Structure 1
Amino acid sequence: MADIVIPWYAAIIGLLFAIFLILRKMNPVYSLFLGAIVGCLIGGASLSDTVNILISGTQSIMGTAIRVLAAGMLAGVMMESGAAESIAHAIVSKLGANKAILSLALSTMIITAVGVFIPVAVLIVAPIALSVGKQTGISKLALLTALSGGGKAGNIISPNPNTIAAANGFKLDLSSVMIAGFIPAVFGLITAVVIASLIKKKGAMVQDSDIGEEEEKELLPLSKALIAPVLSIVLLLINPIGTMLHIQLLANLKVDAMYILPFASIVGTIAMGRAHQIREYSKAGIYRVTDTVLILIGAGAIAGLISVSDLSKQVVHLISITGISGTFLAPISGILMGLAVGSTSTAVILATGSFGHAILATGTSSLAAAVMVHTGATVIDSVPQGNYFHITANSMHMSIKERMKVIPYEMCIGGVMTIVATILYGFILK
């Protein structure tokens, strides 16, 4: 198997076949496996060699899969305990109705940034957004633009599966990718607020039927709600802060996210006085990340196909012939994969696995590549073939036609973050 080289066109056919099956609503994991098998067989690999290639590829993503499972623990605690909802209510009530759009965008950004998955973050804040929109006369189009834009901004600085995939795909610490995404995230938040403010009277308005009657429930105190996410972020930042400040003790303290996220989750749960519910929270968390881990395994199969092909060399050769800066390969790969699969995390997984070697071969640094792929995956990831499109439409009581109108604004927000990341890390800090 060591001597096998799959032709580049076979690898491309395998990847396109997998994407085609995903677009046809076939299970993404089986789609990716079938794509990898087809690519190997077209490329001349034997049946036994094909199995070895797929096994080798799936083994390469196990580190990412373990860290994603660890992230699920924090997500479960934040969602099931009501901590995320408490944070959202606190932000909206503090900023008030006059700054409604900012408060809603900031809420989803912070909730996503502390480890809640973006569709769930929108689900949590949506009822608050609808209530605020009814009071202030802000359209559902503007409300979802604010929520989705804030969520996208938070998603690139979070310990979520997409950030873990970007970090591990380029062999980086999770904290370094989170920090590097901060400036693009700020620009994303600003863009979301500006766009939502400009279109706040455009589109359908919130109706009484959209709100319904919400049950009054006791919210978790903010001080307790913040313990798990703040502890996890502080612990994740110890190493990079020590490196930046030249504090050797902290710089040498390399504690992996695999330990930090479950530890912070358990401490936070105990601090909330809900130690007896740790089992329920962890069960909910692992349920949330199961699909992502399975897709990771499928993407590993495709990565195995790509790794034994000469695709990377051909891509680098093509870039050198055209004279286009190789830096653009990173964001473009993220954008294309996001468009193909309609999922930020899956897009990052596929882009790093399929084009990671080619991106690095152009001279782009690992950190720059990770941030540009990551932000690129947020540009066109809210398309109808993905779950995010439908979850957010339902949460805001929007028809498919109404939800489609939000996509151009989401593209603008993701596009701004990608442009900022590309200029900053692809050229200025290259």
Structure 2
Amino acid sequence: MSGNVVVSWWAALIGLALAIILILKKLNPVYSLLLGAIVGALIGGANLLQTVNILSAGLQSVVGTILRVLAAGMLAGVMMESGSAETLARTIVAKLGDRLAIFALALATMVITAVGVFIPVAVLIVAPIALEAGKRMHISKLALLVALSGGGKAGNIISPNPNTIAAAKGFNVELSQVMVADFIPALFGLAMTVLLATLLRNKGSEVLDKDLENIAADAVDAANLPSLKSSLVTPVIAIVLLLLNPIGSVLHIAVLTKLNLDAMYVLPIAAIIGALAMKQGHKLRQYADAGMKRMTDVVLILLGAGAIGGLITSSSLPEQVITLIKAAHVSGTLLAPVAGVLMAAASASTSTGVILATGSFSKAILGFGVAPLAAAAMVHTGGIVIDQLPHGNYFHVTANAMNMEIGERSQGILYEMLVGLTCCVVATIMYGFMGL
């Protein structure tokens, strides 16, 4: 489709670098990616028509991912807008009690992120509960932040969120397979979160009365939250349906292995049934609208990433990367996690980082003989290592949620990185070197 033109590897690298620089300069990420792709194609030897064809081919490659991301919006809308996510969080914290407060807060954030809520929204939901517990138990805001952010990172790699969908489709594996593959790394991430937050419980500023001023208003709405039983319907149906095929493969049940249920219709169906179970069927349109708005930015970034991915795959860069790594006698397996780490750091976003890493380096990663599922798991866990940098919105959303100044919020970056790095190292050892 691109007229068989092969763009020079150095031009593709310049296009990718330009896109990243523009993102760091706060230009809209979509325009940054498109501009980088266009400039890279033109200086790499493509004419105007070939440049359009290169971008078009790249955009077509992400259509399947876009459809599934939009489907995930329905589930996210129901979980966030109905109050069911908050019900899950409050129940977990209440059941585990103050003695296990840090573990409860990390687990609560992990669970509601794992069932399809965006990690910034998950932190916003649990933050009031965390501040209340922190005030009672004299836990510092830094420790609370690490508990919430670390738990969210662990949940993010096992959720049907856009980043997981992008990792799965970037390597042509099932969403459920990536969710299952990242489960053990997620547990290690949760354990590291609890350890770090416990060590930090007396480090940093304490929760003050002024930090709790806005919580009273939210407590009034707590009485109107759905029941735990009805809140569980949406995530349970979604997870069970998505896992039927992997369960069939493990247990050698032929009927289940032939049952290829796709997230594109599983997630909306689970959302609709869940809304009806909560007696909120009349609000489905409202939930759908809210979910679609949440996904709009992700879809647009997917289009931009598709364009830059088209540039990379139409260039000689993947072959050059393979040659360079072989010449350096470094394991090619490491390209997967490193690509995820670097792209997420550059964009300060897990979703954008995973999309960029898969679009730009999937061909090179698979060229080393890395299995597609292993590659997806390593890129995905790499994407949560340093995605919390200040040039992204997650840093500022979480700072506001915890009523922290920028300096104090910045102290959490290192500890959040250690949580993400734990998940990434475990995934790399399991799938990259042990070949599980």
TM-score, with length taken from structure 2: 0.98
Q: Kindly report which structure 2 residues correspond to 1:303-318, keeping only aligned pairs within 5 A, or say none.
A: 303-318=309-324
Q: Kindly report which structure 2 residues correspond to 1:29-68, keeping only aligned pairs within 5 A, or say none.
A: 29-68=30-69
Q: Does 1:251 align with 2:257?
A: yes
CA contact (8 A) 2:107 2:151 kept: yes
1:68-123 CA-to-partner distances (Å, cap 9, x unmatched) read 00001000000000000000000000000000000000000000000000000000
- 2:207, 2:8 → 1: CA distance? 54
* TM-superposed deviation, 1:3: 2.0
Q: Which amino acid aligns with 1:261?
A: L
Q: Does 1:372 align with 2:378?
A: yes
Q: Secondary structure at the match of 2:216?
A: coil
CA contact (8 A) 2:12 2:317 kept: yes
CA contact (8 A) 2:348 2:386 kept: yes
Q: Secondary structure at the match of 1:253?
A: coil
* TM-superposed deviation, 1:363: 1.1
- Structure 1 residue corresponding to 2:394, chosen from 388, 392, 396: 388
Gaps of 5+ in 2: none
Q: Does 1:25 align with 2:26?
A: yes
Q: Which amino acid aligns with 1:214?
A: A
Q: Kindly report which structure 2 residues correspond to 1:162-311, keeping only aligned pairs within 5 A, or say none.
A: 162-212=163-213, 213-215=215-217, 216-217=220-221, 218=223, 219-311=225-317
TM-score, with length taken from structure 1: 0.99
| RMSD value, Cα | 0.7
Q: Secondary structure at the match of 1:351?
A: helix
Q: Secondary structure at the match of 2:312?
A: helix
- 1:161, 1:101 → 2: CA distance? 27
Counting aligned pairs with the same residue, the percent is 62
The equivalent of 1:426 in structure 2 is 432
* TM-superposed deviation, 1:243: 1.1
1:273-292 CA-to-partner distances (Å, cap 9, x unmatched) read 01100000000000001100
Q: Which amino acid aligns with 1:85?
A: E
- 2:435, 2:102 → 1: CA distance? 33
- 1:233, 1:271 → 2: CA distance? 17
Q: Which amino acid aligns with 2:242?
A: L
Q: Secondary structure at the match of 2:388?
A: coil
* TM-superposed deviation, 1:244: 1.1
Q: Which amino acid aligns with 1:282?
A: A
Q: Secondary structure at the match of 1:226?
A: helix
- 2:39, 2:205 → 1: CA distance? 46
CA contact (8 A) 2:306 2:359 kept: yes
Q: Does 1:96 align with 2:97?
A: yes
* TM-superposed deviation, 1:48: 1.2
* TM-superposed deviation, 1:429: 1.9
1:24-46 CA-to-partner distances (Å, cap 9, x unmatched) read 10000000000000000110111
Runs of 4+ aligned residues of structure 1 deviating over 6 Å after TM superposition are none
* TM-superposed deviation, 1:338: 1.2
* TM-superposed deviation, 1:339: 1.0
Q: Kindly report which structure 2 residues correspond to 1:35-184, keeping only aligned pairs within 5 A, or say none.
A: 35-184=36-185
Q: Which amino acid aligns with 2:83?
A: G
1:231-253 CA-to-partner distances (Å, cap 9, x unmatched) read 00000001110111111111101
CA contact (8 A) 2:3 2:50 kept: no
- 2:154, 2:390 → 1: CA distance? 21
- 1:415, 1:247 → 2: CA distance? 36
Q: Does 1:360 align with 2:366?
A: yes
1:194-222 CA-to-partner distances (Å, cap 9, x unmatched) read 00000100001101001114232212110
Gaps of 5+ in 1: none
* TM-superposed deviation, 1:2: 3.3
CA contact (8 A) 2:147 2:193 kept: yes
- 1:274, 1:98 → 2: CA distance? 35
- 1:247, 1:332 → 2: CA distance? 37
